[in-house]
A and B are shown apart, each in its own frame.
Chain A
């Protein structure tokens, strides 16, 4: 009898220990830390880690790996995270093509995925999943927001430009969806193009009254510098991807005057944002970008849900995520039925900052409570 009791006690103790171990939460972050566009991944990571550190929770373990902007590598890293490290939550991917390679398989296997950036239309629509949450935006949001803003501002003949690849054509389609008017022309450039003399000449020869472009990364830097010296005098509009703080520093004075849509601005007036911007500058000695803000929000959403449930209790944790019960740096934030954000799209203008360097200043709201157009295709 005594023996039995001690065995029972031992069993109890081991289960108790297992319970303590299960308390720990493992988050696997796959993001782009090297190669082209790595400043996006670095900012998502830094914003995310800032929120984790501030939460003071030492039971949250974040594992970080670099996908080098390669879909195959991202896929094998996600398998490693799920099978070897048994992570509860995956996050971090920057690029839509990498997200498409990783997310559907991961959520099917019962892992949560929270996107801090990429928002391809398929994942918002027909391939949506109860374990997939997008904390950033659906890809069309910022372009559509600018379309609505330009129509409202009375521009009648915009000319559009984007690289000839899926996100480029999607960007222009998203713009036209909310612009709802005629556009003068659509110019498609090559991916990675560096010389835009030919396109600028076409813009000059057209009778457009404004320019909207989507040229992420280095492409936008090259274009804006050449645009400034071309003597073409049209107002310039774009999405925040071409005007984040890192990019406009490289573009220099050429960026001044450009209007861009974003879901966040560093001078957005709310308490969570003041704390974020100050903390980020203190910790990393640079201005945060929208990517850092998205990473910060993603981590805070996770922490808010962890207060209520552990990811191993999937239904409770999912419900807690849906509530989005956290102080977003965007001021207000809620999820639509496809677990993508319903949020305000802001307009920012690039102005000369106090130190003479260009910086973004909040101008107003382009569209309130924008929702993607794919949620009706989502059956959860």
Chain B
């Protein structure tokens, strides 16, 4: 039972991390209609900046702030230089251009920092584990990631429903040309939203970088999962991204743990491990196909 609960929390933690990635991705798609494959690169940029600044200053929190700031700045710069020219192009052109950005970011990072992973650890006050009610020991840092994810979700809710910026974002989602006609500086709004998405990706990269390893290409596997999340949740919907992320996180984690055990009941251990982990790897894609079969626009389709 504690194993199940621990895995559930693990799934939740993966889910909140995916939400940080997916919310930026879905925001950019919802407001600007842009498919941004380079979102994983901002994740990497955030992690690298955090690792470097943490190493230089000795403080993880300064590093984290720097990671978010650098990711946002790089996002804004990329929007001004490249993305701006893509809004009126077909999706295929956007995919091509942002794929090129992935290659440029990856090789550029490799060129500057080399292929060896960088060193980044959680701060001392957040390392180790705590005993949760029920006697379960769980790493503090993973609980912090969940808390940050929840805080960002609540913050996004208030931003979008209660602020002027949120009002403009919602307006941009429903009618792009109209808000331009109403005298809102749409170019600035786009840059702002894009930088915000990049900052969230940078935050995710920095948090996860301390848990995993900071290296070239770390963003791409997460990007694929984030796309699954926004497709399941409904492209353009923040609420969909939240539910989709948690669903994907929990299903993926539980599948990986319990499927091999399930197959072991009627197979030899090594075969069961092989079959079980193969199916576990496919599980979220099977789930995505099933959801799309009944809800072609995802669980919470935005108003398109």
| B10–A194 touching, CB < 8 Å | no
Please report whether the interface of chain A is mostly helix, strand, loop or mixed according to DSSP.
helix
3 tightest CB-CB pairs across the interface, nearest first? Answer: A231-B129, A197-B10, A222-B212
**Partner among B7, B128, B208, B273 whose Cβ is within 8 Å of the Cβ of A201:** B7
CB neighbors of B among A21-45 (8 A) = 34-39
- B residues near A190, Cβ cutoff 8 Å: 277, 281
27 A-B pairs with CB atoms under 8 Å apart are A36-B115, A36-B217, A164-B277, A164-B278, A169-B270, A185-B269, A187-B273, A188-B274, A194-B208, A194-B218, A197-B10, A198-B7, A198-B253, A202-B3, A205-B2, A218-B117, A218-B215, A221-B117, A221-B213, A222-B211, A222-B213, A225-B121, A225-B211, A229-B141, A231-B137, A250-B116, A252-B121
The chain B residue with its CB closest to the CB of A205 is B3
| A229–B218 touching, CB < 8 Å | no
Q: Is A152 an interface residue (CB 8 A)?
A: no
- B residues near A192, Cβ cutoff 8 Å: 221
| B212–A225 touching, CB < 8 Å | yes
| B121–A188 touching, CB < 8 Å | no
| A34–B10 touching, CB < 8 Å | no
| B212–A226 touching, CB < 8 Å | yes
Q: Is B13 an interface residue (CB 8 A)?
A: yes
A38–B277 Cα gap in the complex (Å)? 28
Q: How large is the interface on B (under 10, 10 to 19, 20 to 34, 35 or more residues)?
A: 35 or more
- A residues near B221, Cβ cutoff 8 Å: 192, 194
| B115–A34 touching, CB < 8 Å | yes
- B residues near A185, Cβ cutoff 8 Å: 269
Q: Is B14 an interface residue (CB 8 A)?
A: yes
A229–B124 Cα gap in the complex (Å)? 10
B231 to chain A, nearest CB (A): 21
A55–B211 Cα gap in the complex (Å)? 45
The chain A residue with its CB closest to the CB of B260 is A188
Q: Is B160 an interface residue (CB 8 A)?
A: no
Type the 1/0 row for A170-210, where 1 means its CB is closer than 8 Å to any CB of B.
00000000000000011111101011011001101100000
Type the 1/0 row for B126-149, where 1 means its CB is closer than 8 Å to any CB of A.
011100000001111110000000
Query: Which A residues are within 8 Å of any B CB, using their own CB?
Result: 34-39, 164, 169, 185-190, 192, 194-195, 197-198, 201-202, 204-205, 218, 221-222, 225-226, 228-231, 246, 249-250, 252-254
**Partner among A186, A222, A231, A246 whose Cβ is within 8 Å of the Cβ of B270:** A186
Query: Which B residues are within 8 Å of any A CB, using their own CB?
Result: 2-3, 6-7, 10, 13-14, 110, 115-119, 121-122, 127-129, 137-142, 208, 210-213, 215, 217-218, 221, 253, 256-257, 260, 269-270, 273-274, 277-278, 281
Taking A225-B121, A226-B139 as known contacts, 19 extra A-B pairs with beta carbons closer than 8 A to each other, sorted by chain A number, are: A36-B217, A39-B116, A169-B270, A186-B269, A186-B273, A188-B260, A194-B212, A194-B213, A195-B212, A197-B10, A198-B7, A198-B10, A204-B6, A221-B212, A226-B211, A230-B137, A249-B119, A250-B119, A253-B121
| A201–B3 touching, CB < 8 Å | yes
Most chain A CB within 10 A, of B140, B212, B217, is at B212
**Partner among A37, A195, A230 whose Cβ is within 8 Å of the Cβ of B14:** A195
- A residues near B3, Cβ cutoff 8 Å: 201-202, 204-205
A189–B13 Cα gap in the complex (Å)? 19
| B127–A197 touching, CB < 8 Å | no
| B256–A250 touching, CB < 8 Å | no
- B residues near A38, Cβ cutoff 8 Å: 115
The chain B residue with its CB closest to the CB of A32 is B115
- B residues near A229, Cβ cutoff 8 Å: 122, 127-129, 139-142
A195–B13 Cα gap in the complex (Å)? 11
A286 to chain B, nearest CB (A): 11
A9 to chain B, nearest CB (A): 57
- A residues near B253, Cβ cutoff 8 Å: 197-198
- B residues near A39, Cβ cutoff 8 Å: 115-116
| B274–A197 touching, CB < 8 Å | no
The chain A residue with its CB closest to the CB of B128 is A229
- B residues near A204, Cβ cutoff 8 Å: 3, 6, 137
A311–B118 Cα gap in the complex (Å)? 43
| B256–A246 touching, CB < 8 Å | no
- B residues near A202, Cβ cutoff 8 Å: 3, 257
Q: A205-B3, A221-B117 are in contact. Are A189 and B127 (CB under 8 A)?
A: no
